Structure 1
Amino acid sequence: MTDAPSPPALDAETLAFAGRIFQFARMGHAEELAELFGQGLPANIRNDKGDSLLMLAAYNGQPDAVRVILGAGGDPELANDRGQTPLAGAAFKGEVEIVRMLLDHGAAVDGSGEGGRTALMVAAMFDRTEIVELLLARGADPDRRDAGGKTAAEMAQAMGAQATPGLLAQAPRRQP
């Protein structure tokens, strides 16, 4: 067996450029990102924490950047190193427009990272009623359980959410 070659060392200029790209996503610099995609920048590059450009834009509430990244082929299912998807990140931050955009571009409504926590669970925990309603309308399963065996309603109750446990209790159930 041979040792895999080590990745090339990156110089300070390359590292600074990479840092700017990820900052463009965080700050919503959609035009700059579009220009870089036009020059061949891959839409699914990730930083040292596994955050994709789409994850950073979605989490930071940057709908124009999200639109550009999705248009360049950004993967709405690409989870970071903590198992968080862009959909869950947008749900956590209460970004309804971005949640809708991600769903419209193929994000799995019940998609989850390694811990099994879905966007519905995250939205319910933080009492994001509009997002819970949207996810349920798009087919999210209110009875799905995370890796620890908890449902969205159980998580919402544990976090002290006021409105979402009732919404989840009234949600239509999937037929077995």
Structure 2
Amino acid sequence: MTNPSDESPVSLEVIEGTFDLARQGRTGPLGEMIDAGVPIDLRNPRGDTLLIVATYAEEPHTVADLIRRGADLDAVNANGQTAISCAVFRKNETLLRMLLDAGADQDAGGLSAIAIADQFQLAEMRVVLDEYAAR
């Protein structure tokens, strides 16, 4: 697990606990960890950020808080996935719109969000992506 700021080392236990908070949608305690110095764009061994994990876990309050705090919307993990690609894959229109409204790039990552929607035949996600692309 890496600390992108490299300002101070973060223990493995703290990192694992922080990702658990994001995965479980425990927004308040996660925010406290970030306020205490855990980097908002912390990465796990797969290259996931807290935002990617919270999006994949479909935790809208946590995703909204991470966006508000300035999380990297276009971070790409080791598999080429982004928070947007997670929202598309999970067929979560609310999270997809939240990320797009915040300025996330639907072309970031190993595959664009449209390519993912097409690959998995997610027509409803494609409609949303096309709507935002036309703006």
Which band: TM-score by shorter chain?
A: 0.7 to 0.9
Q: Residue by residue, what CA displacement relative to the aligned partner does 1:77-115 show, whole Å, maximum 9, x if unpaired? A: 000011111101110111111111111111113x232x3
**TM-score scaled to structure 1, two decimals?**
0.66
Deviation at 1:15, TM superposition (A): 1.6
- 3-state SS in 1 of match to 2:97: helix
Query: Is the 1:33–1:68 Cα contact (8 Å) retained in structure 2?
Result: no
Amino acid at match of 1:75: D
Higher relative contact order (CA 8 A, sep 6+): 2
- State which structure, 1 or 2, has the greater radius of gyration over its C-alpha atoms: 1
List gaps (5 residues or longer) in structure 1: 1-6, 141-176
* Counterpart for residue 78 of structure 2: 81
Report the counterpart of residue 138 of structure 1 in structure 2: 132
Q: Which residue of 2 aligns with 1:112?
A: 108
Aligned to 2:99: 102
Q: Which residue of 2 aligns with 1:122?
A: 116
- Matched with 2:63 is 66
- Rounded Cα–Cα distance in structure 1 between residues aligned with 2:65 and 2:82: 18
Q: Which residue of structure 2 aligns with residue 35 of structure 1?
A: 32
| 2: CA distance, partners of 1:128 / 1:59 | 16
In structure 2, the gaps of 5 or more residues are 1-5
Pairwise CA distance, 1:37: 2.1
Structure-2-length-normalised TM-score: 0.85
**Cα distance in structure 2, aligned partners of 1:77 and 1:85:** 6
| Conserved? CA contact 1:37–1:72, under 8 Å | no
* Deviant stretches of 4+, over 3 Å: none
User: Identity of aligned pairs, percent?
Assistant: 33
Q: 1:15 aligns with which of 12, 15, 29?
A: 12
- Give the aligned CA root-mean-square deviation in angstroms: 1.9
